Amino acid sequence: MSDEWYTRLVQSGRLSVTLAEKRRSKESPDVAVAQPSGASRGLLASHLSDHVKLIRSLIKMSGLSKRGHNNARRIRINELSIDIPQLPESFHGFKLMHLSDLHLDMAPDIADVIAARVQPIAADATVITGDFRAATAGPVAPTVAAFEKVLPHLPRPVYAVLGNHDSLQVAAGLENLGLRLLFNEHVLMQRDNAQIAIVGVDDPHFFQTDDLDAALVGIPHGVPKILLAHSPEIYADAERSGIDFMLAGHTHGGQICLPGGYPVIVNADCPRRYCRGFWRHEQLRGYTSVGTGSSVVDVRFNCPPEIALHTLVAA
């Protein structure tokens, strides 16, 4: 990672010194897998490599590897209308394309598959809720090069947050391509004389460097707030903070699910109802993507990958 880029990131106030150093301390190149802290963080919190070997062996023995591989490339477009309280009239019908968990270094063809799928989609902006990488250590250049294939086909502007697989090293490369990452900060989108806020927090799952209070500072009263967070685990904080709509990912919807789409593992420290698709928590509306790519194993069963297209409408 460029020391100059890191210095600018901290000095600009986009990421506090404390949280930046916390992140860097967990980004050791000797750590092969970014494992969550605490047993409550899910099955992947320990002995992940053993589980990966077991899953791969079971899939191979079942003879379903090819089918699972093909399933992982059949990306669905899920279109949803989202009621936003006090949405300005000029933003009625505003379309947000939502990608998550791209894991672009998982296989050589993934970037091309995603680029082809997003190319015909018309939207007003793109948001990405983290995990550009599949690897959690080692060179970041393959991920940046892969995203360079996808970015030209995404509706602009493009805003994103980092996930538990993403390091500050990859962040520098992504921003150099023109992507706008949100490190506990927000941007105001304007149409006519009206605004909405796109709020982004750093990874709340593994790095635990999210700071929603900091991200909300300076948003004018009454402006609708759309939150990007890698994991849905901060749903309660989001509701208490007055977020209108929360977008998340991380869970992959299980990725390998039982018939009927029931996930075996979601690896998120929150109720399962927040781990896939549209949900509500008191006044908060939320959507957790099942992911656009795949991780750990390059297959999907009973859980197709997706690109979500959210159309904002006045509540």
Average pLDDT estimate for 273-302: 96
Average pLDDT estimate for 241-252: 97
Average pLDDT estimate for 240-264: 94
pLDDT at residue 45 greater than cutoff 50: no
| CA 35 remoteness from chain centre | 17
**Residue 44 binned pLDDT confidence (cut-offs 50, 70, 90):** very low
CA atoms in the 13 A half-sphere facing the CB of 96: 28
Q: What percent of the chain has pLDDT over 90?
A: 76
- 207-239 per-position pLDDT tens digit: 999 999 999 999 999 999 999 999 999 999 999
pLDDT at residue 99 greater than cutoff 80: yes
**Residue 59 binned pLDDT confidence (cut-offs 50, 70, 90):** confident
Average pLDDT estimate for 134-160: 95
Listed by start position, the domains of the chain span: 3-34+41-314
pLDDT at residue 57 greater than cutoff 90: no
Out of 180-189, 258-267, 299-308, pick the least confident.
258-267
Average pLDDT estimate for 92-113: 97
SS3 273: helix
Question: What pLDDT score does 53 carry?
Answer: 64
Q: What percent of the chain has pLDDT over 70?
A: 89
**In sequence order, what DSSP letters do the residues of 181-238 get, joined into one string?**
E-SSEEEEEEETTEEEEEEE---SSSS----HHHHHTTPPTT--EEEE-SSGGGHHHH
CA atoms in the 13 A half-sphere facing the CB of 18: 5
- 151-203 per-position pLDDT tens digit: 999 999 999 999 999 999 999 999 999 999 999 999 999 999 999 999 999 99
pLDDT at residue 36 greater than cutoff 70: no
Average pLDDT estimate for 2-11: 84
Question: What pLDDT score does 28 carry?
Answer: 55
CATH number for the 3-34+41-314 domain, one of 3.40.50.620, 3.30.413.10, 3.60.21.10, 3.40.50.300? 3.60.21.10
**Mean pLDDT, all residues of the chain:** 90
| Phi, psi angles (nearest 5°) of residue 265 | -135, 135
pLDDT at residue 39 greater than cutoff 50: no
For residues 160 and 180, the answer to whether their CB atoms sit within 8 Å is: yes
Question: What pLDDT score does 27 carry?
Answer: 86
Question: What pLDDT score does 32 carry?
Answer: 37
Question: What pLDDT score does 42 carry?
Answer: 34
